[in-house]
Amino acid sequence: MDILAVEEKHTCGTYAKQPVVIVRGEGACLYDEDGNEYLDCSSGHGVANLGHAHPKVAEAIARQAHTLLTLFETFPNDQRAALMEKFAALLPGMERVFFCNSGTEAVEAAIKFARLSTGRTGIVAAMRGFHGRSMGALSATWNKAYREPFLPLVPEFSHVPYNNGDALEKAVGGGTAAVILEAVQGEGGVYPAAPGYLKEAQRICRAAGALLILDEVQTGFCRSGKMFACQHDDVTPDLLCCAKSLAGGVPMGAVLLGPAVKNLTPGVHGSTFGGNPLACAAALAALAVMQEEKLAEQAAEKGAYLMEKLGAIRSPLVREVRGMGLMIGIELKQKVTPYLKALQEKRIIALNAGLTVIRLLPPLVITYRQLDRLAATLDEVLAGEPGGE
């Protein structure tokens, strides 16, 4: 079977297919159908923080699959209760949780909960922000290319420049239900929050009676060098959205809720698959691995190591290298597509963030030798022949 041809024939069309058929993963590597090894510096868009096919997650999934896969959240369950207790211990003051199945669903729930809690309807988001593609989350997303085909979106969303406290203060008022921000803007170009910005956002929200939603779908679960990126700034939001690597690769999303979130009564929101025992068992195993293998510390140390190596690359193409932990953006002075292609030919998979940023989101278990290979290959690829499109 020509797998690529079959997919190209039957795809709905919303994904540009890569010319590589991946059939297996292990640690930081992916393998194609001929057994060629690729260093995965995308982690499946930030999902595989623990690496691919982590044995402890695989074992938990297999065990739970033989025990109980599905159970609506009205019935309590041992795996879900254990996960709830674990979550409640992650961030002081965030003791309740809503479970769903993806990042966009977590954002969607947070928006609805902010409206219910405040009785207000306005949502202030940031320029360059990305929060997902369902209609509510898309209304908070900034990129025109994602939004415009679907106008009109949900009313009363506005966007302010990121990392600008004054602009945020002006935009937030008596009609604002919530401010939604990423702790590091991922898709928008890998822009970390300036020190103090999230604290300022929290102060502005409190003063106006609005809630602060942090979207940690990409930054959460050790990626930034802490369990959650908001911990770098010592900020606890009112609602914290997470998904991606939460359950070690099994689809799962969650919203952690602080005390200001209220009026959540039976029936106002829900999800058929939310909090299913399979995803909960996988998440429990994933959280245990994060703690046992100290993945947050690993991300901080490896991120600093990689940043130093990338900073030493002397290339006229590079405008800036920035990031947090193992979430790193290399901004070029031109489009990144030819360089991503060149990396892939050298068997390194990386992502873009917008047109001009190479985004690196390697599994946090990546080895120092693999980091050396990544840096050396980037040095080679960015050596200077102007690529152009």
Ligand X SMILES: *Cc1c(COP(=O)(O)O)cnc(C)c1O
Tell which one of 104, 236, 245, 298 touches ligand X (CB under 6 A).
104
Pick 208 or 242: Cβ nearer ligand X: 242
Q: Toward ligand X, which CB reaches closer, 219 or 377?
A: 219
Q: Which of 215, 228, 233, 273 is catalytic?
A: 215
CB of 106 to ligand X, least distance (A): 7
CA nearest to 287, candidates 68, 54, 122: 54
Ranked by CB distance to ligand X, the top (closest) residue is: 103
Closest approach of Cβ 27 to ligand X, in Å?
22
Query: Among 40, 108, 182, 200, which residue interacts with ligand X (rule: CB under 6 A)?
Result: 182
Of 104 and 276, nearer to ligand X (C-beta) is 104
- DSSP letters for 199-217: HHHHHHHHHHT-EEEEE-T
Residue nearer to ligand X on the CB measure, 102 or 271: 102
For ligand X (CB under 6 A), the number of binding residues is 14
Residue 108 interacts with ligand X (CB under 6 A)?
A: no
Among 103, 136, 225, 354, binds ligand X (CB under 6 A): 103
Q: Tell me if 111 sits within 8 A of 137, measured CB to CB.
A: yes
With CB under 6 A as the contact rule, the residue among 27, 51, 122, 132 that binds ligand X is 132
Report the alpha-carbon distance of residue 243 to residue 248 in Å, rounded.
Answer: 10
Give the one residue of 99, 130, 142, 162 binding ligand X; rule: CB under 6 A.
130
**For the chain, how many helices (H) and strands (E)?**
13, 17
Which of 131, 226, 302, 322 is in the footprint of ligand X by CB under 6 A?
Answer: 131
186 is a contact residue toward ligand X (CB under 6 A): yes
Contact between 243 and ligand X by CB under 6 A: the answer reads yes
Q: Are 359 and 220 in contact (CB under 8 A)?
A: no
Burial class for 96, CB neighbours closer than 10 Å (0-12, 13-18, 19+): middle
Rg of the chain (C-alpha set): 21
244 is catalytic: yes
Q: Which of 49, 79, 102, 370 binds ligand X (CB under 6 A)?
A: 102
**Which H or E element spans position 21?**
none
SS3 159: strand
Question: Minimum CB separation from ligand X for residue 103, in Å?
Answer: 2
Between residues 256 and 381, which has the closer beta carbon with respect to ligand X?
Answer: 256
- CA 382 – CA 314 distance, rounded (Å): 9
DSSP state of 250: B
Closer CB to ligand X, 139 or 377, in the complex:
139
Print the binding letters for residues 133-172 with ligand X: x by CB under 6 A, - otherwise.
----------------------------------------
**Exposed / middle / buried, residue 213 (Cβ in 10 Å: 0-12, 13-18, 19+):** buried
Integer Cα distance of 335 and 205 in angstroms: 37
Residue 200 binding ligand X, by CB under 6 A: no
- Which residue stretch of 143-151, 180-188, 323-331, 366-374 sits at the interface with ligand X (rule: CB under 6 A)? 180-188
**What string of DSSP letters covers 28-84?**
TEEEETT--EEEESSHHHHT-TT-BT-HHHHHHHHHHHTT-----TTS--HHHHHHH
State yes or no: residue 180 binds ligand X (CB under 6 A).
Answer: no
Cβ proximity to ligand X, 245 vs 356, nearer residue? 245
* Token representation of residue 367: 């080895």
The span from the first CA to the last CA of the chain, in angstroms, equals 33
- Asked if 215 is an active-site residue, the reply is yes
Site for ligand X in 212-231 (CB under 6 A): 215, 217-218
Of 226 and 377, which has the nearer Cβ to ligand X?
Answer: 226
17 and 7 in contact (C-beta within 8 Å)? yes
Of the candidates 87, 99, 244, 273, the residue annotated as catalytic is 244
Which residue ranges make up the site for ligand X (CB under 6 A)?
102-104, 107, 130-132, 182, 186-187, 215, 217-218, 243
Catalytic site positions: 130, 215, 244
